Amino acid sequence: MRKESIEPGAFSFSINAPHRDVHLLVGHSYDKPPASKQAGMLEFNDTEDFLEFIAQIPPGAERATQITDLLIMLGAGLIKGVSPGFRVPPKDVVPGAEKLIPEPGNPSVMIRQLFQLVLYELSLVTLPAYWESQAELRSLRNPETRPRNRIILHEHQEH
């Protein structure tokens, strides 16, 4: 048996590199992405405990069927989690990107610690790869503008 642990800062290369895009998807589908980093609609806050990302849904986008469907599913609690799409860089490019250690008190279980990853997408899903992840819908009101929809997602980073 093996477990996985995404360590703090593991996604920093992708979220901080200006030329790298990260897409927000629904169910790992690239056909109608609700947001992306390159489009300026996806923001990140990488902490010691979790990676938080915020998707800005621009005014008028809710008229698109896929955005309306997404907002309804999030609001109803049908989509609750996040599944990150990433890869571990090759060892000759990034030595020490991952390591296997035995689980404390249970040496028959190995924990794959991930220290540096290339993140390419975050998918909103019903059953997340990382059960600790969570997605929630928030509507923020600014008295000078009409309400803007924001999707606030937290990826707990331990599996």
d(CA 37, CA 55): 9
Instruction: Give the residues across from 118 on adjacent strands.
Output: 87
Would you say 155 and 117 are in contact if contact means Cβ atoms under 8 Å apart?
no
Structural domains counted in the chain: 1
For residue 49, the model assigns a pLDDT of: 85
Residue 81: both structure tokens together: 């989690």
Tell me, what's the pLDDT at 92?
95
Alpha carbons within 13 angstroms on the beta-carbon side of residue 4 total 15
Q: Which domain holds residue 147?
A: 2-155
pLDDT means over runs of 10, the chain (159 residues): 86 95 94 93 90 87 88 89 94 95 91 95 89 70 39 44
Instruction: Read off the pTM.
Output: 0.80
